[in-house]
């Protein structure tokens, strides 16, 4: 029977010990890694809280200004302040409107007085998703207050001009007759 040289035994045991330690360290490090499902749930919870807080700020604005708004499933709020005699707006319509755009602070950001009448074809984009959603609830000739939560307005980035990141915006619009 052949015996291993003591140095060979020591070397084999050392390699075995090191690899066992590395495996234990890797398992421990792996347990400290972020669980993708937990990360997703955490981010969803943060987002839900941010949406709830923004909705509460919008509700507070509407209450302070005596607005009896209707809220859609997306979080858009609107109130028709003047009923027009025109047809209901539908996809494909060219919509022209005068407007004032404000932040929840009341600060006027844009208006048709300084920037001119706006227009767009419904369903072709080019405007905030919430504005497009809102005009489909109106008729030609209507005037309305429309409150867009940030996710229906300019989102995380703002408009990179006057509207800050994550800002709810208020539109006071008058849809012009065609």
pLDDT by position in tens, the chain (length 178): 444 444 444 445 445 555 555 544 444 555 568 888 988 998 999 889 999 999 999 999 999 999 999 999 999 999 999 999 999 999 999 999 999 999 999 999 999 999 999 999 999 988 999 999 999 999 999 999 999 999 999 998 999 999 999 999 999 999 998 7
Q: End-to-end CA distance of the chain: give it in Å, rounded.
A: 104
Contact 66, 125 (CB under 8 A): no
Report how far residue 128's alpha carbon sits from residue 123's, in angstroms, rounded to the nearest whole number.
Answer: 11
Give the pTM: 0.77
3-state secondary structure 7-38: HHHHHHHHHHHHHHHHHHHHHHHHHHCCCHHH
Q: Which residue has the tokens 């700020």?
A: 57
The domain made up of 70-175 has a fold known as Chitinase A; domain 3 (3.10.50)
Domain ranges of the chain: 6-33, 70-175
């Amino acid at each position: 029977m052949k015996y291993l040289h003591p140095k060979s035994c020591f070397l084999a045991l050392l390699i075995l010990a090191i690899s066992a330690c590395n495996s234990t360290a890797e398992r421990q490090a792996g347990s400290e890694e972020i669980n993708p499902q937990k990360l997703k749930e955490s981010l969803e919870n943060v987002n839900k809280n941010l949406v709830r807080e923004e909705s509460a700020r919008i509700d507070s604005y509407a209450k302070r200004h005596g607005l009896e708004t209707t809220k859609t499933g997306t979080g858009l709020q609107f109130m028709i302040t003047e009923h027009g005699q025109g047809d209901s707006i539908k996809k494909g319509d060219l919509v022209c409107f005068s407007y004032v755009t404000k932040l929840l602070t009341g600060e006027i950001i844009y208006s048709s007085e300084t920037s001119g009448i706006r227009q767009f074809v419904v369903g072709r984009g080019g405007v905030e998703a919430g504005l497009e959603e809102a005009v489909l609830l109106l008729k030609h000739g209507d005037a309305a207050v429309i409150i867009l939560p940030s996710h229906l307005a300019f989102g995380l980035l703002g408009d990179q001009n006057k509207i800050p990141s994550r800002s709810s915006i208020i539109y006071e619009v008058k849809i012009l007759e065609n």
